């Protein structure tokens, strides 16, 4: 179950489609992910993705900008209601685009924790991405 949730969370962060028009609404799109918070230096961004594929851009909420992941080092934790935590990690690296603003960001656990009837899911770690 943790592996499935880990894969889902990884997809949540990195999946999406190429830059869409300003009228697109990835937050409410069918198959859209929960909103994740990235902290990049003094700035923070809320991102959401939809679609499928690894790794593809995550849309910045309330913007037409996208994060294009270059490296990921993530930890997924699922604690079933009344149970003990299950932890999984994922790392990924790929060649990034030649242009764009490169950002080093963290996914703080305290900002990326989701509670469901089945338990609590947390994603944390670091991402290097191009903001386009």
For residue 85 the two structure tokens come to 């935590």
Output the average pLDDT for the chain. 77
How much is the pTM? 0.72
Res. 54 pLDDT band, cuts 50 70 90: low
Note the pLDDT of residue 13.
41
Note the pLDDT of residue 53.
54
pLDDT in tens, 69-105: 899 899 999 999 999 999 999 888 887 777 778 899 9
Note the pLDDT of residue 43.
94
Domain range list for the chain = 2-131
> What's the rounded Cα separation, in Å, for the pair 8 and 15?
10
Average pLDDT over residues 18-35: 49
Note the pLDDT of residue 49.
78
Q: Has residue 52 got a pLDDT over 80? A: no
Query: Exposed (0-12), middle (13-18) or buried (19+): which is 117, by Cβ within 10 Å?
Result: exposed
What proportion of the chain, given as a percentage, has pLDDT over 90? 45
């Amino acid at each position: 179950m943790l592996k499935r949730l880990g894969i889902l969370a990884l997809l949540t962060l990195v999946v999406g489609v190429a830059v869409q028009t300003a009228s697109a609404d990835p937050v409410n799109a069918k198959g859209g992910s929960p909103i994740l918070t990235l902290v990049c230096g003094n700035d923070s961004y809320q991102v959401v993705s939809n679609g499928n594929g690894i790794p593809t851009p995550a849309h910045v909420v309330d913007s037409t900008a996208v994060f294009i992941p270059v490296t990921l080092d993530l930890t997924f934790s699922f604690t079933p209601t009344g149970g003990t935590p299950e932890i999984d990690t994922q790392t990924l690296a790929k060649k990034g685009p030649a242009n764009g603003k490169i950002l080093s960001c963290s996914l703080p656990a305290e900002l990326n924790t989701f509670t469901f009837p089945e338990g609590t899911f947390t994603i944390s770690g670091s991402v290097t991405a191009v903001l386009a």
